[in-house]
Amino acid sequence: MNDRIETQPQQRPSTVTRRSRRGLLLLALTTAIALGACKAPPPPPPPAPPPPAPLVNETLQGAINGVLLDIARQLGPQAAAGRTAVIDPLLDGRTGQQTKATERAQQVLATSVALVLPKVTLLRFDEVGARQSSWLFNGTLNAQPNSSGSYTLTVALSDRGSGLVIARGVAPVKDSQLDEAPTRFYAESPSLVRDRAIKGYIETTEKPVGQPADALYLEQIPTAALLAEAQDAYNAERWDDALKLMSTAAARDDGQQLRTFNGLYMANMKLGRTAEAEEAFGKIAALGLATSNLAVKILYLPGTTDFMGDPATYAMWVRQIARAVQATELCLNVVGHTSKTGTEQGNRILSQRRAQSMRDRLVRDAPALARGHRLRTEGKGWDETIVGTGTDDLRDALDRRVEFKVVSCD
């Protein structure tokens, strides 16, 4: 008898079991979603690095282009309107002189204006152009201290009708080939020429946009143009033309400037008119004393109180200064200065000796100046250099000077 093994039929999960499993799965899924929602969002991606700064073109041409583009932006719609303009020759802002470097900058500026501001018509800076122009460019090129070949270029644009500075640009310049030597006119001028007119020029370049330009400076522009023509003639060795133009300027009230009388002195000397030259130097002395701004470039033999050069010329200068002081009741401080070479203490002693020597020379020409406290002396050494290069050549001749400062007689 065969045994039969009976298999039990498989039981299907009950409906309740299936529902329980579904519930568990749903619960797990819900929990996972909830937990995921509690997690902090992922950090944002790091910001993209900033674009590299545009390279600044610090060549003279690049700086002038940048300045003019900035001026065009400031002008806005005015840049598209037709205007006439002149450029008053650029200056070294420290000395008030024109140099080979400022001449070069002016040439590049004139060429670039036509390209960047095509609606501006540049007129020649002479009397006719100065009177006809509605806009005026002026500017400075200043060497940065203790940084050879580095400069700061500033160009201002003034509206002569409103008297306001309407645009201004500033840019760095790096060019070791620029020549800081003064032009011939300024190199051979016997005195510092930074008078009220020059200060007005420089202050105008420093005015913020929308502020008034120096009123006296703007008023004297036609005569400034005449003096610029005279300086060009002198630099080109056209002595007769220079003398004629300087004489025309000297006949005007606003032509009573140190540039005018320096020009008359030098042109007359070149033409052998010694008496007329001495008369012109007398006017330099008188104007300088009247404005407490008489600084004469005196070149001495190194380490001495002896003049270097033609002794007759220096004797003329001393004679005229003595007469100018004697004609007043002024008291003066005779201040000696040196260039920045040698030792500080040695230069201070040397500058004091030179100031005392100058005082003694003045007293020999005008003995009355010895009475009271009419003349005092002081040696500054290199404390008040104007240029400060220490090159001991034409570039820093203004540092080797003797100043005559008006002081109280008490």
Q: Is residue 332 part of a domain?
A: yes
404 in a structural domain: yes
Contact status, residue 90 vs residue 102, Cβ threshold 8 Å: yes
**Which position has the higher pLDDT, 308 or 220?**
220
- The enclosing domain of 348 has a CATH number of 3.30.1330.60
- 58: DSSP letter: -
Q: What is the pLDDT of residue 360?
A: 95
Residue 323 within any structural domain of the chain: yes
Quote the pTM value.
Answer: 0.82
pLDDT at position 303, please? Answer: 80
pLDDT exceeds 60 at position 40: no
- Please write the tens of the pLDDT for every residue from 290-302: 998 898 888 887 7
Q: Is residue 392 part of a domain?
A: yes
Q: 409, 331 in Cβ contact below 8 A? A: yes
pLDDT at 398: 73
CA distance 104 to 90: 9
Neighbours of 336 (CB within 10 A): 28
Q: What is the pLDDT of residues 86-125, one digit of tens each?
A: 999 999 998 999 999 999 999 999 999 999 999 999 999 9
Q: pLDDT tens digit string along 224-247?
A: 999 999 999 999 999 999 999 999
Give the confidence band of 52 by pLDDT, cuts at 50, 70, 90: low
Mean of all residue pLDDT scores within the chain: 88
What's the structural domain count of the chain?
Answer: 1
Residue 35 has what pLDDT? 46
388 pLDDT above the threshold of 60: yes
Q: Which residues of 277-316 are buried (b: 16+ CB within 10 A; e: fewer)?
A: bbebbbbbbbbbbeeebbbbbbebeeeebebeeeeebbeb
Q: What are phi and psi of 373, to 5 degrees?
A: -115, 40
Range of lowest pLDDT (16-30, 73-87, 218-232, 251-265): 16-30
Q: Is residue 38 part of a domain?
A: no
Q: Which domain holds residue 388?
A: 292-410
Inside any domain, residue 199:
no
Residue 230 lies in a domain: no
Closest CA to 144 of 119, 117, 176: 176
Q: How far apart are CA 281 and CA 242, in angstroms?
A: 16
